[in-house]
C-alpha cells in the first residue's frame, strides 16, 4: 500500500491562515459612521455633567453609552469612553470590555482589561462612605470573565460575587450554547434538579438554560416539547415580568425557526399574562411594545401594528399621569417596536417625539440621560436619523448646561 | 509610653466665626435644580417638593431654619435628587427658628436643648427601589411579589390626585440613587400640614443603595426618628435622640445595612407616647402584608441603644415576618423587652407564618440564605444582600445592661439569644458606656419619664472588646467592639446638636472611616486625648492592633484619601513617627504641646501597622482629624 503524505504546502497554508486568524487586529468592527456619531453625541452629552456634585449620575449615563458601544462591537470606542469615567463604573466597564474581548477571541486584551478592572476595586471601596456594593459589582463582572476563562484561581479570588443571579444567568446562556448534544439528557436532568430546589436563582438560571436549549434544539420536536414544558409548566411562581420575559424569548426562538404558529401561540399566552398585571403606565408601555414586536416576529404583522397603535394610544391617554422624565422611555420603546416592525417612518417619528419628551424637564440631568438613551437606541436598532432629527439631537446636546 | 513633641508644621487656621446670613424664604416647589449656599439661611414656608428631574444641592455649613410652628417641610420626589454633603466642621442643619434663638452669637455649634418638637416638618426622600406596600392608594392594589409597578403613597404627604407622582415611592431599581446626605442634623421636627398624622425626622421611601447616607442626627422629633419603607439604602453613623415615637422604624421590605448608631430614648414633648414620649427603640415590620415580598431582611451592627427605663417600650419589636441581624450592639436601660414578638403591626398584616411564610420561631433557626418561596422574586440573592451569614433573625455578640423589666429577657431567652454560641453578655455587671446622667423623673404625656442630660457614649467594660466583628464587605467597618463608638473616640464630634447643647462632650479628635482591617481583629483604632492647647499634655492611643509589631504614625496637614494597601491613606504625609505595639497590640504616644504651637492647630493622622493578617501585609487605623478644642 502506498503511503500518501499530506501535502506540505497545504499544511503550511493552513497554519498560516490559522496564525492570521489568531492575530486578527483588535479594532472596532465595521459599522455605519452615523452609528458611531450617535454614540459620540450620547457620550459627549453625558460628559457635560459637572463631576462635582453629579459624579454618580454622570458616570452612570456614560457607562450606559459604553454598554451600547460594546453591543455595537466598538471596543476601542468603549475603551476611550471608559477611560473618562471618573468613578467605580469604570471598573465595571473594563470588565465588560474584557468580556467582549473573550467572546470575540482576543484573550490577551481580555486579560489586560481585566487587570484594569481589578485596579479600580480598591478605589471603589472608598466611594460614598464605603458603600461596598460598588466594589462587589466590579468583582462580580471580573469573576464572570475569569469563569469563562476557566481560571479557577482567579474565580476563587473574587469570591462569591459570581454567585449573583445575573452572573449565573449569563453563564447559563454560555453553557446552553456550548454543551455537546450528547449531553442533552444530562443537562435536562440538571435543570430538573434545579427546578426542584425552590432556590430561585438556580431556577432562573435553569430556565434561562432551557430557553437557549429550546432555540438550539428547536428542530428536534421531542426536545423542543420537553423544554417548552419545563419553562411554561414550572412549578415555581415567578414574578410576572420574568414570566413574560421567558415567554417572549420562547416566542422569538420559534419565530427564528420560522414556526409562526407556535410563536403566535406563545405570544397569545404572553398577552394574557400582561393583562393580569397591575402596571404603572411608564412600565406598561414598554412591555406592550415588546409584545407587539413578538407578534410581528410570529408572523402577524397586522396584529402587531394594531397592538402597537393601541399601545401608542394608551400612552396618549395616560400622558397626564406620566411624569415628564419617564415619557422618553415610553416613546423609545414604541419607536424600537416600529423599527422592528419595519416601519422606519413611524419609528423615526416616535424617536423624534422621544427626543422632544426628553427636553420637557427644565433640568439637564434628565435631558442628558434621555438624550444618551435615545441616541444609543437609534444606533442599536439601526434606525438612521434624518437631517431634522440629527440637528435636534445635536441642539439638545449643545444646550446641556446649568441647571443640572 | 513614648514622648513626642508635635511638629509645628501642622498648623492651619480654622474657619472663622459664624457669618451674617441673608434669609431666603422658600415658598415654591423646586422644579429647576438649585443650590442652597452657606451664606444664606433658608426658611421653608410650606411643604416644598423637589420635583422629578431636579437636584437640590445644599452646601456644607448651610442652615435651614424654618418659622416655628408654620410647618415648612422638604420632600424629594422620585426622580429628583438631594445632595447635602456637610462636613464635621461645617454640618448642614435643618431646624426651627426657636432653636436658632438659643444659639450664642448666631453660632450653630452652640445652643440649648429645649422640650420641643413639631416646630417644622422634616426631610422626606422618595426613591425607586422595590417595596412591599399592598394598597398604595385609591382602588389600586399592588402585586404581592416584587414588581417595578408596586408603589406606595408617602405617609405625611398630601396627594393632590390618585397616584399623585409627587408623593409616590417605590419602583424596580434597588440601585437607585436619590443623592447623598452627610453630616446633616435634623432638630425639633415632625409637623405636618393638613393631615392628622405626623412626620418622622427622616423619611426614606423606596431608597436604593445608590444613595449615600452617613452622619445623620435626629434630635427631638414628634413621630419616629428615622423611618425606612422598603429599598436597600445603607446608613452609617446615625444619632437619634428623644424621639416621640419609635427611634428607628422599618417597614415594607428594607434590605439594607446600618452600622455605627446611637439611640438615646427620652421625650421631646409633654404628649402621649407615640407623639412625644418614646416608644420602641427599633420597630421592624417585614412587609405591609406579611406574605408580600420583598420582606425586611436587614443587618445592623454596632449600635448603642439606650432606652428609657420608666416609660420606654422595647429594644427591638418584630412584626410581619421581619428578619434582622443585630450584632455587636449595646442594649441598656430598656423600659420593657429586649426582643418583643409583636407579630403584627395592627394595620392589616397577618403576622409570622401567614400563608406558608416562616413562623416566628423558625425565623430564628432558619439560615439567612433560605429564601421564602411565597411571592418570591426570581432572584432572591440579588434582593437580599444585606445578610451574609447566620440565621435570618439574630442578636449576637451584644451586651445588655440594666434592663430591669420583669420580662426584659423572656422572649429573647426563648429564642435562644443567650445561648453561649451567640456570645451575648446578658445584664453586664458594669455600665458598658463611659458615662451618662439622667434627668429626674418627670410626668410627660401622663407617663413618668426621663431623658439624658449628659452622655459619653464611648464603650466601657464588656463593650470594649467583642468576640466577632462585621464582615469586611466594603460597607461595614470590621470593628471588634460592641456599640456604636470605638474606644476613646466619638464620631459625634463637631457636627451634632447633642454636642452643641452640651449633652455629649466636645473633643479635639474626630474619627475618619478609612482603616485597613486585620482578618483576625478588625480595624485597629486610633484615638486621642488632650485639648492641644500650648503647654498641655496630649496622648495618641493605638489599640486593637497586632501585638509586638512595628508601625508608623503618619501626620499631615491635609487629607489625601488615597486607596492604599487595602485601606485608605488619610493624611497627606508631612511627618512620620515610628512605634512598636505592646503585647496587647496597643501603644500610647504622648507628649506636651509646645508653647510655640500656633493658635489654631488642625491636622490629620493615621497609624499603619505591619501585620500579616492585613489585606496586603499591613493594617491601618481609622484616620483622625485633630483640632484644638
3-state secondary structure B125-158: EECCCCCCCCCCECCECCCCCCCCCCCEECCCCC
Collapse the DSSP code of B543 into the 3-class scheme (helix H, G, I; strand E, B; otherwise coil) and give the result.
Answer: strand
**Beta-carbon separation of A404 and B34 below 8 A:** no
Average pLDDT over residues A61-79: 97
Mutant choice from B62, B142, B381 vs A, greatest count of A C-beta within 10 A: B381
Residues of chain A contacting residue B213, judged by C-beta atoms under 8 Å apart? 129
| Local confidence band at A83 (pLDDT 50, 70, 90 cut-offs) | very high
Contact list in A for residue B375 (CB cut-off 8 A) is 237
User: Does the structure show a pLDDT above 70 at A238?
Assistant: no
Residues of A in contact with B474 (CB under 8 A): 124-125, 130-136
Give the mean pLDDT of A148-160.
76
Does the beta-carbon distance from A53 to B33 stay under 8 Å?
Answer: no
How far B107 CA lies from chain A's nearest CA (Å)?
27
Which of A131, A208, A284 to mutate to probe the B interface, most B CBs <10 Å? A131
Residue that wins the pLDDT comparison between A250 and B29: B29
Cα B278 from Cα B268, distance rounded (Å): 8
Residues 532-551 of B with CB under 8 A from A: none
Q: How far is A56 from chain B (nearest CA, A)?
A: 8
Closest Cβ–Cβ partner in A130, A278, A365 for B474:
A130
Q: Supply the pLDDT for residue A237.
A: 59
Interface list for B 562-621 with A (CB within 8 A)? 563, 566, 568
Note whether B163 contacts A: Cβ–Cβ < 8 A. yes
Burial class (CB in 10 A: 0-12, 13-18, 19+), B418: middle
Q: Which residues of A touch B566 (CB under 8 A)?
A: 122
Please judge whether B53 and A240 are an interchain contact, meaning their C-beta atoms are less than 8 angstroms apart. no
Confidence check: pLDDT of A151 > 90: no
Q: What DSSP letter does each residue of B409-435 carry, written as one string?
A: THHHHHTTTTSGGG--B-S-SS-SEEE
* Cα of B443 to nearest chain A Cα, Å: 41
Nearest to B79 by CA among B144, B147, B31: B31
Query: Which residues on A lie below 8 Å from B380 (Cβ)?
Result: 165, 200-201
Residue A171, pLDDT score: 59
Question: Does the beta-carbon distance from A366 to B163 stay under 8 Å?
Answer: no
Tell the residue number behind the cell numbers 504651637, with chain if given.
B597
Interface test with B, best of A200, A283, A400 (most B CBs within 10 A): A200
What pLDDT, on a 0 to 100 scale, did the predictor assign at position B134?
83
pLDDT at A169: 52
pLDDT at A376 over 90: yes
Q: Considering CB atoms only, which of A163, A204, A402 is closest to B378?
A: A204
Mark yes or no for CB contact B165/A241 under 8 Å. no
Please tell me the number of Cα atoms within 13 Å of A278 on its side-chain side: 15
Report which of A205, A271, A280, A279 is spatially closest to residue A244, judged by C-alpha positions: A271
Q: Do A130 and B371 touch (CB under 8 A)?
A: no
Contacts of A53 in chain B (CB under 8 A): 57, 83, 85, 180
**Cα gap B484→B260, rounded to integer Å:** 4
Instruction: For CA atoms A335, A339, A342, A346, give the dihedral sign.
Output: positive
Higher-confidence position of B92 and A238: B92
| Nearest CA-CA distance, residue B426 and chain A, Å | 32
Nearest Cβ partner for A126 among B142, B385, B563: B563
User: For chain A, what is the mean pLDDT?
Assistant: 85
Alpha-carbon distance of B319 to B311, in angstroms, equals 21
Q: What is the pLDDT of residues A276-301, one digit of tens each?
A: 777 889 989 999 999 999 999 888 99
The total of other beta-carbon atoms located within 10 Å of residue B35's CB is: 15
CB B605 within 8 A of CB B539: no
Determine the average pLDDT of the residues in A355-367: 96
More confident residue, A185 or B518: B518
pLDDT tens digits, one per residue of A36-46 = 999 999 999 99
**Grid coordinates of B434:** 463611659
Q: Which class is B508-627 in CATH?
A: mainly beta
Q: Is the pLDDT of residue A98 over 90?
A: yes
Q: Which of residues 463-492 of B touch A (CB under 8 A)?
A: 473-477
pTM: 0.88
Residues 325-344 of B with CB under 8 A from A: none
Select from B164, B165, B132 the least CA-distant residue to B150.
B132
Q: Is B443 in the A-facing interface, judged by CB distances under 8 Å? A: no
Contact list, A89 vs chain B (CB under 8 Å): none
Nearest to A107 by CA among A149, A153, A150, A170: A149
B514 touches chain A (CB under 8 A): yes
Contact residues, chain A, for B172 at CB < 8 Å: 283
Taking contacts as CB-CB distances below 8 angstroms, the residues of chain A near B378 are 165, 200, 203-204, 238-239, 242
Does the beta carbon of B139 lie under 8 angstroms from any beta carbon of chain A?
no
Low-confidence stretches of chain B (pLDDT beneath 70): 1-20, 137-140, 194-196, 378-379
Q: Which of A363, A364, A370, A371 to mutate to test the interface with B (most CBs of B within 10 A)?
A: A363
Higher pLDDT, B63 or A168: B63
Residues of B in contact with A284 (CB under 8 A): 149
Decide if pLDDT at A135 tops 90.
no
Amino acid at each position: 500500500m502506498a503511503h500518501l503524505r499530506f501535502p506540505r504546502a497545504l499544511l503550511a497554508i493552513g497554519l498560516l491562515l490559522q496564525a492570521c486568524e489568531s492575530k486578527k487586529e483588535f479594532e472596532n468592527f465595521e459599522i455605519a459612521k452615523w452609528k458611531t456619531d450617535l454614540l459620540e453625541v450620547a457620550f459627549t452629552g453625558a460628559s457635560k455633567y459637572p463631576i462635582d456634585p453629579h459624579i454618580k449620575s454622570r458616570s452612570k449615563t456614560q457607562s450606559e453609552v459604553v454598554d451600547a458601544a460594546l453591543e455595537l462591537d466598538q471596543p476601542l470606542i468603549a475603551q476611550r469612553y471608559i477611560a473618562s469615567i471618573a468613578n467605580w463604573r469604570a471598573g465595571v466597564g473594563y470588565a465588560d470590555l474584557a468580556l467582549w474581548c473573550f467572546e470575540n477571541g482576543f484573550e490577551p486584551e481580555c486579560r489586560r482589561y481585566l487587570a484594569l478592572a481589578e485596579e479600580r476595586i480598591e478605589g471603589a471601596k472608598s466611594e460614598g462612605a464605603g458603600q461596598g456594593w460598588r466594589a462587589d459589582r466590579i468583582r462580580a463582572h471580573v469573576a464572570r470573565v475569569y469563569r469563562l476563562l476557566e481560571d479557577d484561581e482567579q474565580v476563587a479570588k473574587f469570591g462569591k460575587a459570581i454567585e449573583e443571579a445575573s452572573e449565573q444567568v449569563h453563564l447559563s446562556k454560555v453553557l446552553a450554547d456550548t454543551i455537546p448534544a450528547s449531553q442533552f439528557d444530562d443537562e435536562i436532568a440538571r435543570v430538573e434538579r434545579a427546578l426542584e430546589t425552590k432556590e430561585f436563582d438556580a431556577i432562573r438560571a435553569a430556565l434561562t438554560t432551557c430557553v437557549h436549549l429550546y432555540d438550539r434544539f428547536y428542530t428536534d420536536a421531542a426536545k423542543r416539547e420537553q423544554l417548552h414544558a419545563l419553562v411554561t409548566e414550572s412549578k415555581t411562581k415567578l414574578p410576572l415580568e420574568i414570566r413574560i420575559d421567558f415567554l417572549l424569548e420562547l416566542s422569538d426562538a420559534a419565530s427564528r425557526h420560522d414556526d409562526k404558529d407556535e410563536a403566535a401561540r406563545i405570544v397569545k399566552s404572553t398577552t394574557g399574562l400582561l393583562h393580569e398585571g397591575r402596571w404603572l403606565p411608564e412600565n406598561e408601555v414598554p412591555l406592550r411594545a415588546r409584545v407587539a414586536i413578538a407578534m410581528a416576529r410570529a408572523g402577524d404583522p397586522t396584529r402587531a401594528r394594531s397592538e402597537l397603535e393601541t399601545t401608542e394610544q394608551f400612552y396618549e391617554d395616560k400622558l397626564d399621569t406620566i411624569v415628564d422624565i419617564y415619557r422618553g422611555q415610553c416613546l423609545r420603546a414604541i419607536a424600537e417596536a416600529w423599527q422592528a416592525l419595519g416601519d422606519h417612518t413611524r419609528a423615526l417619528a416616535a424617536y423624534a417625539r422621544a427626543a422632544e419628551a426628553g427636553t420637557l424637564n427644565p433640568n439637564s440631568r434628565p435631558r442628558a440621560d434621555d438624550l444618551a438613551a435615545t441616541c444609543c437606541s437609534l444606533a442599536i436598532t439601526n434606525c438612521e436619523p434624518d437631517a431634522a432629527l440629527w440637528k435636534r439631537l445635536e441642539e439638545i446636546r449643545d444646550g446641556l448646561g446649568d441647571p443640572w | 509610653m513614648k514622648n513626642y513633641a508635635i511638629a509645628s508644621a501642622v498648623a492651619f487656621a480654622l474657619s472663622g466665626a459664624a457669618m451674617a446670613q441673608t434669609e431666603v424664604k422658600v415658598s415654591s416647589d423646586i422644579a429647576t435644580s438649585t443650590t442652597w449656599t452657606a451664606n444664606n439661611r433658608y426658611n421653608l414656608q410650606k411643604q416644598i417638593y423637589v420635583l422629578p428631574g431636579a437636584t437640590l444641592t445644599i452646601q456644607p455649613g448651610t442652615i435651614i431654619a424654618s418659622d416655628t410652628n408654620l410647618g415648612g417641610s422638604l420632600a424629594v420626589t422620585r426622580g429628583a435628587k438631594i445632595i447635602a454633603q456637610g462636613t464635621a466642621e461645617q454640618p448642614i442643619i435643618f431646624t426651627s427658628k426657636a432653636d436658632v434663638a438659643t444659639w450664642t452669637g448666631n453660632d450653630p455649634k452652640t445652643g440649648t436643648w429645649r422640650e420641643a418638637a413639631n416646630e417644622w416638618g422634616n426631610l422626606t426622600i422618595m426613591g425607586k427601589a422595590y417595596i412591599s406596600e399592598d394598597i398604595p392608594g385609591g382602588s389600586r392594589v399592588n402585586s404581592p411579589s416584587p414588581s417595578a409597578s408596586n408603589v406606595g403613597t408617602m405617609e405625611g404627604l398630601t396627594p393632590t390626585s390618585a397616584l399623585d407622582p409627587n408623593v409616590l415611592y417605590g419602583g424596580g431599581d434597588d440601585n437607585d440613587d436619590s443623592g447623598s446626605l452627610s453630616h446633616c442634623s435634623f432638630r425639633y421636627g415632625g409637623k405636618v400640614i393638613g393631615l392628622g398624622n405626623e412626620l418622622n425626622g427622616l423619611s426614606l421611601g423606596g431608597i436604593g443603595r445608590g444613595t449615600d447616607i452617613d452622619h445623620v442626627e435626629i434630635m427631638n422629633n414628634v413621630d419616629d426618628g428615622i423611618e425606612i419603607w422598603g429599598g436597600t439604602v445603607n446608613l452609617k453613623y446615625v444619632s437619634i435622640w428623644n424621639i416621640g415615637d419609635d427611634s428607628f422604624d422599618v417597614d415594607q421590605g428594607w434590605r439594607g445595612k446600618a452600622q455605627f448608631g446611637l439611640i438615646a430614648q427620652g421625650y421631646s414633648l409633654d404628649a402621649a407616647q407615640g407623639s412625644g414620649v418614646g416608644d420602641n427603640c427599633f420597630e421592624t415590620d417585614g412587609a405591609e402584608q406579611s406574605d408580600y415580598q420583598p420582606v425586611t431582611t436587614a443587618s445592623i451592627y454596632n449600635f448603642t441603644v439606650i432606652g428609657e427605663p420608666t416609660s420606654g417600650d422595647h429594644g427591638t419589636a418584630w412584626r410581619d415576618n421581619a428578619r434582622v441581624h443585630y450584632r455587636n450592639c449595646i442594649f441598656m436601660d430598656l423600659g420593657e423587652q429586649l426582643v418583643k414578638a409583636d407579630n403584627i403591626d395592627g394595620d392589616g398584616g397577618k403576622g409570622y407564618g401567614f400563608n406558608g411564610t416562616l413562623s416566628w420561631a423558625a425565623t430564628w433557626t432558619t439560615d439567612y440564605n433560605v429564601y421564602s418561596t411565597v411571592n418570591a422574586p426570581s432572584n432572591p440573592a440579588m434582593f437580599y444582600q444585606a445578610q451574609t451569614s447566620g440565621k435570618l433573625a439574630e442578636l449576637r455578640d451584644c451586651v445588655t445592661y440594666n434592663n430591669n423589666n420583669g420580662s426584659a429577657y423572656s422572649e429573647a431567652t426563648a429564642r435562644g439569644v443567650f445561648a453561649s454560641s451567640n456570645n451575648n453578655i446578658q445584664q453586664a455587671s458594669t455600665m458598658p458606656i463611659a458615662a451618662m446622667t439622667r434627668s429626674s423623673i418627670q410626668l410627660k404625656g401622663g407617663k413618668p419619664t426621663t431623658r439624658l442630660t449628659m452622655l459619653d457614649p464611648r464603650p466601657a467594660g464588656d463593650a470594649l472588646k467583642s468576640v466577632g466583628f462585621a464582615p469586611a464587605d466594603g460597607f461595614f467597618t470590621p470593628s471588634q467592639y460592641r456599640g456604636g463608638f470605638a474606644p476613646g473616640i466619638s464620631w459625634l464630634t463637631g457636627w451634632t446638636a447633642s454636642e452643641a447643647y452640651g449633652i455629649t462632650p466636645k473633643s479635639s479628635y474626630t474619627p475618619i472611616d478609612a482603616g485597613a482591617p486585620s482578618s483576625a481583629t478588625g480595624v485597629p483604632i486610633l484615638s486621642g486625648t488632650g485639648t492641644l492647647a500650648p503647654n498641655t499634655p496630649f496622648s495618641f492611643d493605638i489599640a486593637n492592633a497586632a501585638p509586638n509589631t512595628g508601625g508608623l504614625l503618619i501626620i499631615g496637614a491635609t487629607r489625601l484619601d488615597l486607596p492604599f494597601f487595602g485601606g485608605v491613606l488619610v493624611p497627606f504625609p508631612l511627618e512620620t513617627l515610628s512605634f512598636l505595639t505592646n503585647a496587647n497590640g496597643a501603644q500610647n504616644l504622648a507628649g506636651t504641646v509646645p508653647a510655640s504651637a500656633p493658635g489654631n492647630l488642625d491636622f490629620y493622622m493615621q497609624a499603619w501597622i505591619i501585620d500579616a493578617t492585613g489585606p496586603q501585609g499591613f493594617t491601618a487605623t481609622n484616620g483622625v482629624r485633630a483640632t484644638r478644642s
